[in-house]
Structure 1
Amino acid sequence: MGTDRSRSPGMARNLRTEGATATDHEVLMPRSFVFASIAAIAAAAVPLATAAPAHAQTLRIAMTATDIPTTTGMPNNGFEGMRFLGYPIFEGLILWDLTKTDALAGLKAGLAESWTQSPDDKKTWIFKLRPNVAFHDGTPFNADAVIWNLDRYFKTDSPQFEAPGSGITRARVPIMAGYKKIDDMTVSMTTTVPASYFPYMVVYVLFTSPASFEKAGNDWGKVATLPAAGTGPFKITKVTPREVVELARNDAYWDASRKPKVAGVRLLPIPDANSRIAALRSGQVDWIEVPPPDGIPSLKSAGFTITTGSYPHVWPWIYNIGATNSPLKDVKVRQALNYCVDRAGLVEMLNGVAEPSVGWLKASDPHFGAPKNRYTFDPAKGKALLAEAGYTAAKPLSFKVMVSTSGSGQMLPLPMNEFVQSNLKEACGVNVEVNAVEWQVLLTAARATPDAPTLAGASALNVSSPSSDIGVMARYFAKSSFSPNGFNFPQWADDQFEASLKTLAEATDPKEITAATKAVHERLVDNPPWLYIVHDLNPRAMSGKVKGFVSPQSWFVDLTTVSLQ
């Protein structure tokens, strides 16, 4: 089940498998052949490695991951890992409010009943913990458990230090300076700088029972298969690497209003989009992530439910500005590429399950601002900017981009990247070499320094991004978040951005925060660290038996509302 089958027929002519590359000498696949015949493929469903359970109240979900996300309490595989093996099992002091469909998901109290910024020190936050909460193994959740987990992530010499989980957490909370226990039900955290958006970082710090680590003989590798205990509405009951993770309802969950309606959940990694659709049609799963766009009409006609909706998502190419010989150091080149992309053509190819992206935020967002550049498909302007930077038909711009074969938020990366590759060549004479790798390999590359060997010379990475809040913006673009310490992989720095971000971080007046947010986003457009391509519309396909699902404006979902009828 964990093997990679995500390349569509014919794609091998242009987009190669892990570690290999495609050159401009190879034949570009015509757009009409980007998607294979869904009906033909669905008729021959790929058998799953494990049979579906007989229990009618077990919800079966096909993920896009090539392997199951790690199960120690800080899952890998990006936000798909957090969506299915993070929040349902392991919770944070603060949680996402996933009840609304008409506005971006906000924050709500989780394992902390409340949090406040210290009136004496804007760098310090106080968290009052929720009483009477227990981990799945029955041990109490308290301040000692909080500090133990924070040491796991942030204290390299602690006995429970977990390097993979630490790398993920530190990148999401790059401004953590310290923390301490105040009493059994109160902790404080201190940041390196004042940050009004710090709660939007705390939401990503998840908590595992210290007893899980002790039971596994102080070995995180063994914790992953125990299974580990969290505090969430579901608990892990079985882990079969590369095949399946089984969850069961936590009948002792602390929030009585959110007890799950299904008895359990089975999570299966099926990276190939056509295999996912075949599994849904054959009744092997009840729910699939990212159905192939060409298959959506036939699924609807067959009675399956298709859900879509706006959410904070960007599908870009992230420029490698910091590499020694990167052609993308020149802002004119970065702007030119943004004028050379036919976003509308790509949306059409995707049957409308995306919308054009001309900035980190959507153009309709009230915080988009008024940048000088409003990117459209304008090859003439793109070629003029390239010429100013020294790139012409006689000396074309050439670079390599690393992409994934599947993964969280990656949509359908192989045909989409083939489209962009062909588009840039036809519209502006840009030669792009594509290196397709597994999703986790790409995520590792995104945390590397610009000249790291793991990048294999890539001048751009296709890693989708959330755009949900200022905390994420700071993690991706602040100078203090340069890789490998944060998510600023391009090592992009902009003085105007930094000044406005500082104002935003220290502000308390809503009008001042709004003005500063517009100002920082304008810099992300006019001095672009990314090639903005599309925003996903978050499609999912489900059996008609699945009821009660809410599609929030978030990368995450609430599985507790779902039932099978």
Structure 2
Amino acid sequence: MALSRYTFAAAFGAASVLSVPVAALAQDKILRIGMTAADIPRTLGQPDQGFEGNRFTGMTIYDSLTAWDLSKEDEASVVIASLATDWGVDPEDTTKWIFTLRDDVTFHDGTPFNAEAVVWNVQKVLDEDAPHFDASQVGVTASRMPTLRSARVIDEFTVELTTSEPDSFLPINLTNLFMASPSHWQAKFDETGDAESAWAAFAADPSGSGPFRVTGFVPRERLELAPNTDYWNPDRTPKLDGVVLVPLPEANARTAALLSGQVDWIEAPAPDAIPQIESRGFNIYANPQPHVWPWQLSFAEGSPWLDIRVRHAANLCFDREELQILLGGYMGLPKGTVDPTHPWWGNPDFDIRYDLDEAQRLMSEAGFSAENPLAVKVQTSASGSGQMQPIPMNEYLQQALRDCYFDVELDVIEWNTLFTNWRRGATDESANGAHAINVTFATMDPFFAMVRFSSTGTFPPVSNNWGYFGNDEFDALIADARTTFEDDARDAALGRLHKRLVEEAPFVWVAHDAGPRAMSTRVTGVVQPKSWFIDIAPMDMD
């Protein structure tokens, strides 16, 4: 396919400058960030808006028991201690974990963090009988740690967590459970009289233990953060005077806001604008990320993807290097969910590549041709966390797959709606008849990378196995990995799972995100790790 057949400029259209309120925010060290999200991620403890929410309102306002090490740009991020100083599984009962907690942490409202606070935060998403249980936080939390069942206080700074089955992934999963202040919520409950109203009041005036606290909140317009000067971790105690988060879902609007000085940092700049951004003296930060941009395929009855020849053909039919050029180079070329250097690689027999002849042969063998194309419908979004440039990328695929006898229809919806639909499944009416869904995902932990897409236990609404892919073979592979607590042996088990996942191809693997973000040269202390996340707390401004 010649490059002239498609350009991103036509897809993006004309830029529109969004007015960003910056009066009274012109202090020297206020960092203003243009997000891809269409709204401010929820601030009540468990963010929405995918992992962009974790990055901007999770890891800033809150802490978790474990965290990702985001301090290195040349090594893979690993899980490190955060509010928990150490942990271990009970050798007599591997469904129980003991976590030792920090004893010097206070929430923004001045109340102490302790084991009772951990139990309270587990109950908020798992215990329907708890007075503070919040169903609205369950979907973005329980699906990310599906085996966690309960928490119990052992002493003031020791807590026991129990899982439904042995699960060596739990310490990784806990990076997603953010600790909110029980006392602050109780004060809101005493004021409002019911749990739902208390959570709404808490979201407007949240209290975590993170490096920043909320000082101003206007939905769909901005969130203002101030430094927590009493933060417990000196390496993450903010140097900034504040942070302002601005929703800017359209790529050209983000770019215009950066070039005009309305913001200092934008996520996912428009590829066509990168030369101009660089020529104007801005910095572009990027790093290969454990983050996949896919089509996740349906295995529901009647799906066109049930034939493995069709799944393989779609993975062979388009030139990823050409797409990489169209994205300004800011894209990794996938060979699977993880790359061949990863300890979970497993050496699959199916080689993801561009092979038009083989793709056409497979489609012909499956009974399709230019005169008899296969109709497939894909649900995607116009923007969103990790979605890169979803409309241009999907339109590129739509054109490229015609050469292999696919007739692709796109169903474009709002990002947060798409993310919600992802948990409802391909047979739910929210899928609108789609045979594939385009939601990007991080691959830093094995549950997020593979388990939730290949286990029969993660069919909707439990987790994100939207396409209902899985069988006894995959369940056995997952159980082997999940019950292996020694690192090298667990990596080998996960390699066997990844090998079979690539061979069965429940995805069309399109790209790995490189996470490009453009920033003013005034922003210093930036470390772009090999992670979907980035840590704002250590940053500064000249």
Scaled by the length of structure 2, the TM-score of the pair is 0.94
2:53 is equivalent to residue 81 of structure 1: yes
Distance 1:342 1:487 in 2: 28
Do 2:42 and 2:203's aligned partners in 1 also have CA atoms closer than 8 Å?
no
Tell me, yes or no, if structure 1 residue 507 matches structure 2 residue 481: no
**Bigger mean CA offset, 275-284 vs 331-340:** 331-340
Please list the CA deviations of residues 208-239 of structure 1 after superposition, one character each: whole Å capped at 9, or x if unmatched: 11233223323255235431100001111111
- Which one of the candidate residues 121, 129, 140 is aligned to 1:168? 140
CA distance in 2, matches of 1:383, 1:224: 56
Structure 2 vs 1, CA of residues 225 and 485 (structure 1 numbering), >3 Å: closer, same or farther?
closer
Deviations 1:178-212 (A, max 9, x none): 32221221111111221222111111111111233
Residue identity in the other structure for 1:232: G
Alignment of 1:18-37 (within 5 A): 31-35=5-9
SS in 2 for 1:560: coil
Alignment of 1:184-263 (within 5 A): 184-216=156-188, 217=192, 218=195, 219-263=197-241
Residue pair 1:72, 1:220 contacting (<8 A) in 2 also: no
Match of 1:396 in 2: 373
CA deviations over 1:58-100 (Å, ceiling 9, x no partner)? 1100000011111101110000010000011111111111111
Deviation at 1:341, TM superposition (A): 2.4
5 Å-filtered alignment, 1:263-302, equals 263-302=241-280
Structure 2 Cα separation of the partners of residues 279 and 36 of structure 1? 20
Secondary structure of residue in 1 paired with 2:80: strand
After superposition, what is the alpha-carbon deviation per residue over 1:330-353, rounded to whole angstroms, capped at 9, x for unaligned? 222212211112212211111110
Cross-structure match for 2:363? 386
1:443 to 402, 405, 419: 419
**Alignment of structure 1 residues 447-526 onto 2, 5 Å:** 447-472=423-448, 473-526=450-503
Q: Alignment partner for residue 119 of structure 1, among 85, 88, 91?
A: 91
Which deviations, in whole Å up to 9, do the C-alpha atoms of 1:92-126 show, x marking residues without a partner? 11111111111221111111111111121111111
Residue 503 of structure 1, CA deviation: 2.0
More displaced stretch, 219-228 vs 118-127 = 219-228
Q: CA deviation at 1:437?
A: 0.7
Describe how 1:316-335 pairs up with structure 2 within 5 A.
316-322=294-300, 324-335=301-312
Q: Name the structure 2 match of 1:349.
A: 326
Displacement after TM superposition at 1:466 (Å): 0.5
CA distance in 2, matches of 1:199, 1:501: 17
Q: Give the match for residue 95 of structure 1.
A: 67
Residues 286-312 of structure 1: CA deviation (Å, up to 9, x unaligned): 100011111111111111001110110
Correspondence 1:548-563 to 2 at 5 A: 548-563=525-540
**Residue equivalent to 1:4:** none
Asked whether the equivalents of residues 185 and 199 of structure 2 are also in contact (C-alpha less than 8 Å), the reply is: no
Tell me which residue corresponds to 2:317: 340
User: Aligned-pair distance for 1:470?
Assistant: 1.4
SS in structure 2 of the partner of residue 105 of structure 1: coil
* Superposed displacement of residue 561, structure 1: 1.6
| One-letter amino acid matched to 2:457 | S
Is residue 416 from structure 1 mapped to residue 393 from structure 2 by the alignment?
yes
Does the 8 Å CA contact 1:64/1:407 hold for their aligned counterparts?
yes
In the alignment, does 2:506 pair up with 1:529?
yes
Gaps of 5+ in 2: none
Classify the secondary structure of the residue corresponding to 1:122: strand
Is the CA contact 1:308–1:540 (under 8 Å) kept in the aligned structure 2?
A: yes
Residue aligning to 2:352: 375
d(CA) in 2 for partners of 1:492, 1:278: 42
Equivalent of 2:520, from 529, 534, 543?
543
Report the secondary structure of 1:159's partner residue.
coil
After TM superposition, give the deviation of residue 36 of structure 1 in Å. 5.3
Counterpart CA distance in 1 for 2:204 and 2:512 is 38
SS of equivalent residue, structure 1 residue 401: strand
Residue matched to 1:306: 284
- How far, CA to CA, are the matches of 2:310 and 2:159 in structure 1? 48
CA contact (8 A) 1:497 1:519 kept: no
- 1:489 deviation in Å? 1.3
CA contact 2:11–2:392 (8 Å) conserved in 1:
no
CA offsets per residue over residues 311-341 of structure 1, 9 Å max, x none?
Answer: 101000011212x321112222212211112
Deviation at 1:545, TM superposition (A): 0.5
Q: Amino acid of the residue matched to residue 123 of structure 2?
A: D
Q: Confirm or deny: 8 A CA contact 1:546 1:562 kept in the other structure.
A: yes
Structure 1 residues 397, 545: CA separation in 2 closer, same or farther (over 3 Å shift)?
same
Query: Share of identical aligned residues, percent?
Result: 40
Q: Distance in 1 between matches of 2:60 and 2:266?
A: 17
Once the 2 structures are TM-superposed, how far is the Cα of residue 30 of structure 1 from its aligned partner? 6.5
- Asked if the contact 1:94–1:110 (Cα under 8 Å) also holds between the matched residues in 2, the reply is yes
2:216 & 2:431 partners in 1: Cα distance?
35
Aligned partner letter, 1:264 = G
3-state DSSP class of the match of 1:133?
coil
Amino acid at match of 1:241: P
AA aligned opposite 2:122: L
TM-superposed CA distance for 1:556, in Å, is: 1.2
Q: For the structure 1 residues 468 and 225, does the alpha-carbon distance in structure 2 shift closer, same or farther, using more than 3 Å as the test?
A: closer
Tell me the distance in 2 between the aligned counterparts of 1:428 and 1:445. Answer: 28
Alignment partner of 1:237: what SS? strand
State the SS of the aligned residue for 1:132: coil
Equivalent position of 1:69 in the other structure: 41
User: Is the 2:311–2:506 contact (alpha carbons within 8 Å) kept by the matching residues of 1?
Assistant: yes
Query: Partners in 1 of 2:523 and 2:243 — Cα distance?
Result: 12
Partner SS for 1:114? strand
Tell whether the 8 Å contact from 1:321 to 1:490 is kept in structure 2 after alignment: yes
Give the total of aligned pairs. 533
What is the Cα deviation at residue 446 of structure 1? 0.3
Deviation, structure 1 residue 477: 2.5
1:487 alignment partner, SS class: coil
Q: How many Å apart are 1:49 and its aligned residue?
A: 4.8
Secondary structure of the equivalent of 2:410? strand
Gaps of 5+ in 1: 1-28
Paired with 1:443 and 1:263, the residues of 2 have a C-alpha distance of 33
Q: Which moved more, 1:239-248 or 1:138-147?
A: 138-147
CA distance in 2, matches of 1:355, 1:286: 26
Name the CA distance, whole Å, in 2 between partners of 1:193 and 1:92.
22
Which moves more between the two structures, 356-365 or 242-251? 356-365
CA distance in 1, matches of 2:532, 2:24: 27
Contact kept? 2:148, 2:162, Cα under 8 Å: yes
CA RMSD of aligned residues (A): 1.9
